[in-house]
Amino acid sequence: ATKEGEAEQLVKDAIDIGYRHIEPSAMVYQNDKEVGAGIRAKLLMALLENVNIFLTTKLWCTFHRREKVVEACKQSLSTLGFDYLDLYLIHWPCAFKEGDDAWPKDSDGKVITMNVDYVETWKGMEDCFKLGLVKSIGISNFNSQQIERVLQAATIKPAVNQIECHPYLNQSKLIAFCKERGIVITAYSPLGSPNAIAKETTPAPLQDPKLQQLAKKYKKSVAQIILRYLIQHGTVPIPKSSSKKRLQENFDIFNFEISKEDMNTIDALNKNIRICPFSDAKGDINYPFDLEY
């Protein structure tokens, strides 16, 4: 998520730096229009005529019935201003009450869910693929049991599972599980989301003393160490930044390699701490499902 009016310029800056995967963009973030405008503006430039941008967005929880999935996908495409998506993901494996409110709540402030099986939702994702609206489809925040259920019913295998992943939640079991099944892991909140969803009391990977020591050793920033660590574990980290300087810094991670010993040191930092407890701007809500492996 970004502040209003910020996303378009961030996208332009990112493309100038060399980023080609623009993600995440999702209905609930309400920045699709700006993201699409930023991409289109850069694609119109002569220097980028032959450059492909990999565009991803997600299906929100209020569109989980099979017949609503295609509708939601077309709505996102219209807002973005594109004819198709490179990747479309189910944002969470749970359904909310349908309607205009992205976070429908009851009188007690709890999110109102719907009894829609995410396997049914996956069939709607396959419909999007068959209609040519998307080039590939995937999932987000799914655990191993949920993935198995999707695989058993799927005619098209999920290409990606996007999950929270950082040194304090290294997801080693789920990464191995997905790798065995040919599912790519996208790692969101790789730096701990210090300016987004993290609370003041949440342990911050960027402040970890051992990571700071490694940063000095490799003459890199802590953020660069974390991103390189995740890449060497075979994931695709997607850091978010509102600073062009940090965008550049986050991109400068392909000119060094972390040793096996130091990778083990970072592995040992795992605390199974989840920074994204499925919350909205008004506060945490209860998980309607188990997020563990």
Residues in the annotated binding site for substrate? 91
Radius of gyration of the chain (CA): 19
Contact status, residue 197 vs residue 281, Cβ threshold 8 Å: no
The per-residue DSSP string of 232-247 comes to HTT-EE----S-HHHH
d(CA 27, CA 59): 7
Strand-strand pairing, 160-164 and 236-237: unpaired
- Please identify which of the residues 29, 84, 218, 293 carries the catalytic annotation: 29
Annotated binding-site ranges: 91
* 29 has catalytic annotation: yes
**CB-side neighbour CA atoms (13 Å) of 165:** 31
**CB-side neighbour CA atoms (13 Å) of 175:** 17
Phi-psi region of 92 (alpha: psi -120 to 50; beta: other; left: phi over 0): beta
DSSP bridge partners of 187: 163, 237
Please list the active-site residues: 29
